[in-house]
Structure 1
Amino acid sequence: MTQRLARPPTSKERWSAPSSRKYQPSPWSTPPNANWFPYPEYIDKEMNRIFADLAARDHLQGLSPAAFAIEAAHTLAEINAVHPVREGNGRMQLAFMSLLAENAALPFNPDVLERDRVLGAMIESFSGHEAPLAELILDIVSAQPE
């Protein structure tokens, strides 16, 4: 059974891990600030692991908005770290989050989304700091549409 980390590994941890050949630098950034994403041949395995973990957690159903936000932030951070598509990961993740919230019987208010806040939260989560992303998700599932 795979042990769930309290946070995704940081870029440096991914690169220095014994399985470092599973990761490649993002084509959009260069070392030393590069983000490392899995090589394409590992994407299916990593996504299957993430979705199996999500299924084991009953797709986050029955959680309070705060608990949902924490768990959803971890899932979204892991999906972002895998970066399963070459173009459109952010849009795909947003659509996925709206479906995850709907499935958990929580509202999804896109009016809360601000580009800089979303981008900042995703970048922080890639480094293992999921709190800004969890706070954003909590605002999304708690706010009433205007």
Structure 2
Amino acid sequence: MAGVEPTGSYTYPDVPGDPDRTGVLRNRFGLTRHSELRPAEYAMAHIRMTEIAEGLGPTGSFDKAHLKAIHHHIFQDIYEWAGFARNEHPFIDGQRAEKIGSISKGGTFFLPGSRLEMGLDEALRPIRDADVLRGSTPAQFAQIAGQVLAELNYVHPFRDGNGRAQEAFIAELGRPYGHDVDFSVITKARMIAASIETARDPSSPAMRHLVEDATDSRRRETLRAAFSELRERGEDPHEHDLRTASPSDPI
């Protein structure tokens, strides 16, 4: 019957002609507008991400279960499906949701859901023995963590919230080995560009360079100075693809 809502949908029924009420994720508060959900989600997720940054988040072995636990911790207050991968069947508003096979964003297609388990295994393979990072320099850490981040981004295991869960996961990965990974110096424009580049070319150094900028204290200070300069000019730093110089950059 036309207009009948699909069983177990991740989203509320769309309201034709109203973008603010189209594709809105079902949430614990019944917010059916993007303009209502976005600020609520951001505020609650920010609190949980701060807890993780302060060492109050879930612990684990940097495996699939650990990644899911981090996603659950960040989004538990807003989504019933927090911590469930898109190849699983979470209960949402009392109904079992369908698996999500195909997912894309901004023209970039991510790994099909049918290959998600294999994709996660491959993405996390470099840190199966996380002690490979013991004694690593920021550059050495970034080499491995950047590869993991690029692969996780391509796998895109969750219906939403992948970026924040992945950043928290990588930041936690650095903690036991003395690396303070601060993604606040990575602009939205840069993260999007690196995600697209590495999805199209897994050998791209874009994500490795990004993680090194977030890990090396001198590089972070350089980027913070650039943030300040842009703000003084009345510009939003996050609209710019800001990065420090790389050895491969042309002079």
Q: TM-score, normalised by structure 2?
A: 0.42
Unaligned runs of 5+ residues in structure 2 are 1-100, 225-251
Tell me which of 122, 138, 143 is aligned to 2:212: 138
**Cα 1:59–1:92, aligned 2, differ >3 Å: closer, same or farther?**
farther
**1:81 maps to which residue?**
154
Contact 2:116 2:157 survives alignment (8 Å): yes
Contact 1:37 1:82 survives alignment (8 Å): yes
Structure-2 separation of matches of 1:120 and 1:80: 12
Matches within 5 A, 1:13-32: 25-28=102-105
Tell me which of 32, 47, 56 is aligned to 2:120: 47
Structure-1 separation of matches of 2:204 and 2:176: 22
Q: TM-score, normalised by structure 1?
A: 0.68
Is residue 38 from structure 1 mapped to residue 85 from structure 2 by the alignment?
A: no
SS at match of 1:101: helix
Unaligned runs of 5+ residues in structure 1 are 1-23
Cα distance, 1:122 vs structure 2: 1.5
Tell me which of 109, 115, 122 is aligned to 2:188: 115
**1:125 maps to which residue?**
198
**Cα 1:36–1:52, aligned 2, differ >3 Å: closer, same or farther?**
closer
The more displaced of 42-51 and 116-125 is 42-51
Identity of aligned residues (%): 27
Cα distance, 1:57 vs structure 2: 5.3
Higher helix proportion: 1
Matches within 5 A, 1:94-105: 94-105=167-178
One-letter amino acid matched to 1:120: A
Structure-2 separation of matches of 1:122 and 1:56: 25
- Moved segments of 4+, more than 6 Å: none
